[in-house]
Amino acid sequence: MKAMYPCGASLPEDVLSVFDPEGARRRMGVDRAGFGRVFEHIWREVSERRTLIDAAWQAGDFKRIGLQAHTIKSAAATIGAEGLCRAAAAVERAAEAGDRQALDAAMAALRTARETLCRLVGIQQR
């Protein structure tokens, strides 16, 4: 996976509300290359968790959904993917509440947030 990291670029406010790589990089105290390596590692983790959350959703296993969503939420926050973090938090809340209707909507929002982040950083989706 070769992504284009917009670190250092002046990003519009609407993009920063979804993805703030420069803010995440500063919080981590790493240079741009270091952030790129962290991003790559975390993105692999998010992709694996997304596969697990999809399988748990298909099985109707709300506990596993909540666990995977919690991990995605934390990983997304680390890399400044605020939109993905918010979407994962909504999935986690819906799963914990056992609310299938809310979970369906939250899962759709999670897919959209992931797609948006992929477009922003130039990652080909699988």
**DSSP of 27-53, one letter per residue?**
HHT--HHHHHHHHHHHHHHHHHHHHHH
d(CA 99, CA 108): 14
On whether residue 5 sits in a domain, the answer given is no
On whether residue 3 sits in a domain, the answer given is no
On whether residue 113 sits in a domain, the answer given is yes
Question: Looking at residues 47-74, what average pLDDT do you find?
Answer: 95
On whether residue 65 sits in a domain, the answer given is yes
pLDDT at position 15 is 62
On whether residue 12 sits in a domain, the answer given is no
Check which CATH number belongs to the domain holding 76 and give it. Answer: 1.20.120.160
Domain of residue 34, residue span:
17-121
Number of structural domains the chain divides into: 1
Q: What is the pTM of this model?
A: 0.86
- Alpha-carbon separation of residue 75 from 38, 58, 71, 95, 101 (angstroms): 10, 23, 6, 18, 25
On whether residue 116 sits in a domain, the answer given is yes
The answer to whether residue 84 scores a pLDDT higher than 80 is: yes
Mean pLDDT of the chain: 87
Question: Looking at residues 27-48, what average pLDDT do you find?
Answer: 92
Q: Model confidence at 21, in pLDDT bands (50, 70, 90)?
A: confident
